[in-house]
Amino acid sequence: MAAKTVKTLLGNAGVLVNGPNPWDIQVHDERWYKRVYNQRNLGLGKSYMDGWWDCKRLDVMFFKLLQAGLHHNTPKRLRYLLKLLPGMLFNLQTIMRSRIIAEKHYDLGNDLFFSFLDPYLQYSCAFFQDTQDLNEAQHNKLQLISSKLNLQQKDHLLDIGCGWGGLLKHITERHACQGTGVNISSRQLNHARKFCKELPVKFKDQDYRFITGQYEKIVSVGMFEHVGHKNYRTFMKVVHDCLKKEGIFLLHTIGANRSKRSCDPWITKYIFPNGMLPSIMQISKSIEGLFIIEDVHNLGPNYDKTLMAWNNNFQQTWPDLSKNNPKYDKRFKRMWEYYLLSCAGAFRARDIQVWQLVMTHDHPGRKQPECRF
């Protein structure tokens, strides 16, 4: 029954088992059918890591599955639903639990991330306007953010979730403003301090809930996905309290087309523990009475290209990466490429988005900010 059901569902999306196309699945272990039937997304990812199946074009396979709406049409099994309940019922992103994502993902090793990122170490969606080159596209993204924030020399920019410091380095080099970065990843912060050593930038090992001070501009890129639906309002209140009256806030986040209170079980278990993608409705509800949305920009299709470029870099650098660090074994490689390529397919199918939202204080007489959208 499991084999027949799985084959039928995949076939409805144009993906064959042991078929001739590069996006078809080649099964090496017959237990795969039951595992996928029972565990759905989690079983599909785990069995790939275990080498039970292969696919030459994982990105195309996921694009086809998601474009066909397979994730909405498959029967929901009780055990699968139970894995989603914690995110619905509990706050998985409390202060006590906030550092789990840093320990499990961002502190994996700078050598891993540096093997596929651009010189400014941007681990977020690039902007492929008038270029197909990743480094140029990431530079475009940083320039786009600078323009939207209308950065001036007098400004002090707060970067919430500052990564390895690349955004602050780029901006302070070009605009001579001050910068403060807040992060909870020790490895990222250690590098950021060295990366921006000669610049007017300081970094704090701090949860966003403890941020104080006043800033002309605030930015957060690729961090809101770790906040969680029970904390969206708290996050926005912190930003509101720290942003000066005539200031500008830019939020750059991956987002879901539908409001959710949980994330894909495989991504949660192996890549981003306790992650959660906000919808536009959830974001707008969290800022009501606090901010005016000045601009919304969807960069989603650019993330497909970004992820494909990352995977290409990762594959090219893998021999040296794995040779120099034994923890990067064959199973890790399969996990990482599955992550990058499945996400590329998801963005290509428009199943998930990337938004940049420009916001200002919601107060009487607020003038529209002088910035280029």
| Residues recognised as catalytic | 343
356: nearest Cα among 252, 273, 286: 252
Name 275's Cβ contacts closer than 8 Å, sequence gap at least 6.
Answer: 101, 225, 226, 263, 267, 268
CB 48, CB 338: distance < 8 Å: yes
Looking at residue 124, the DSSP 8-state letter turns out to be S
CA distance 246 to 297: 21
CA distance 177 to 109: 30
CA distance 96 to 81: 25
CA distance 294 to 148: 10
Whole-Å CA distances, 363 to 254, 290, 367: 28, 8, 10
Cβ burial, residue 125 (10 Å; 0-12/13-18/19+)? buried
217: nearest Cα among 267, 179, 172: 179
Q: Which two tokens stand for residue 241?
A: 């309290």
Question: In degrees rounded to 5, what are phi and psi of residue 248?
Answer: -130, 135
CB 339, CB 271: distance < 8 Å: yes
Question: In degrees rounded to 5, what are phi and psi of residue 33?
Answer: -60, -50
Answer left, alpha or beta for residue 74, where phi above 0 means left and psi between -120 and 50 means alpha: beta
Q: Which two tokens stand for residue 206?
A: 């701090």
Name 52's Cβ contacts closer than 8 Å, sequence gap at least 6.
Answer: 27, 28, 29, 31, 32, 35
Whole-Å CA distances, 289 to 229, 362, 364: 18, 6, 11
